[in-house]
């Protein structure tokens, strides 16, 4: 079921809508409720960034707003990362599991909203990543508070990406002003041409002592 209607992107197998296994899942499962209905291209911005600035092998990485989990699967595959894929919508995880199976990768998953992620769990992470996760104004504050909590708990790096929606840019400007985040424009040519923004934040542990 993983040999036909499969697209290979960045070394990852992605099932097309005509793939029998994915088609069956789409027909029989409850549909994702919070835009988790496909692979969103901002994940590729982060995958490419991590190729240039890789985490240490075996790092503990949390993907927030994971959707189908392509970014999580990539981190587990390329960096042997211990990944936790988090999403508020439980209906995305069958699609993540199917793609993890296609790529012969195991990914731990957790159903949770941003504001409910416990400091103790954040403290276990080396890095937090997320693509296309700040698309509503009401997501800016909980995401900012999550970032602050993650920094306080010692998370080393935070990498977020977006096509450039106003809520994301508002979040990025706030993180840049208060925490020294870097925001830069990025682009990809495959699997299709897209442009967007990447926000990176390196933790300065001293400011939280």
Domain that holds residue 164: 35-92+106-208
Question: pLDDT-derived band of residue 205, with 50, 70 and 90 as boundaries?
Answer: low
CATH (domain of 173): 3.40.50.150
- 22 lies in some domain: no
| More confident position, 53 or 24 | 53
- The answer on pLDDT for 207 being more than 50 is no
Residue 31 has pLDDT above 80, yes or no: no
**pLDDT confidence of residue 30:** 66
Q: Does residue 15 fall inside a structural domain?
A: no
pLDDT value for 183: 97
Which pLDDT score is estimated for 37?
A: 57
User: Considering the domain boundaries, does residue 183 fall inside one?
Assistant: yes
How many domains does the chain fold into? 1
Domain contains 11: no
Three-state helix/strand/coil letters over the chain: CCCCCEEEECCEEEECCCCHHHHHHHHHCCCCCCCCCCCCCHHHHHHHHHHHCCCCCCCEEEEECCCCCHHHHHHHHHHCCEEEEEECCHHHHHHHHHHHHHCCCCCEEEECCHHHCCHHHHCCCCEEEEECCCCCHHHHHHHHHHHHHHHHCCCCEEEEEECCCHHHHHHHHHHHHHHCCEEEEEEECCCCCEEEEEEEEECCHHHHC
Asked whether residue 55 is assigned to any structural domain, the reply reads yes
Query: What is the per-residue pLDDT for 44?
Result: 95
Q: With a cut of 80, say whether residue 29 has pLDDT above it.
A: no
Instruction: Give the residue-averaged pLDDT of 82-88.
Output: 95
Looking at per-residue pLDDT, the higher value among 1 and 13 belongs to: 13
The answer to whether residue 156 scores a pLDDT higher than 70 is yes
Q: Is residue 24 part of a domain?
A: no
- Residue 110 forms part of a structural domain: yes
Residue 30 domain flag:
no
pTM exceeds 0.85: yes
């Amino acid at each position: 079921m993983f040999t036909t209607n499969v697209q290979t992107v960045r070394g990852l197998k992605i099932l097309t809508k005509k793939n029998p296994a994915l088609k069956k899942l789409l027909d029989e499962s409850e549909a994702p409720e919070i835009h988790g209905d496909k692979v969103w291209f901002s994940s590729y911005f982060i995958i490419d960034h991590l190729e240039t600035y890789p985490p240490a092998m075996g790092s503990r990485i949390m993907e927030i707003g994971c959707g189908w989990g392509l970014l999580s699967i990539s981190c587990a595959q390329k960096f042997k990362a211990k990944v936790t894929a988090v999403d508020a919508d439980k209906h995305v995880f069958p699609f993540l599991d199917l793609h993890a199976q296609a790529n012969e990768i195991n990914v731990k998953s957790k159903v949770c909203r941003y504001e409910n992620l416990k400091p103790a769990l954040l403290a276990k992470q080396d890095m937090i990543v997320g693509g296309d996760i700040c698309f509503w104004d009401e997501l800016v504050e909980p995401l900012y508070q999550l970032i602050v909590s993650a920094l306080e708990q010692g998370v080393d790096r935070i990498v977020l990406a977006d096509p450039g929606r106003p809520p994301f840019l508002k979040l990025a400007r706030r993180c840049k002003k208060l925490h020294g985040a870097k925001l830069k424009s990025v682009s990809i040519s495959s699997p299709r041409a897209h442009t967007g923004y990447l926000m990176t934040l390196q933790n300065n542990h001293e400011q939280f002592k």
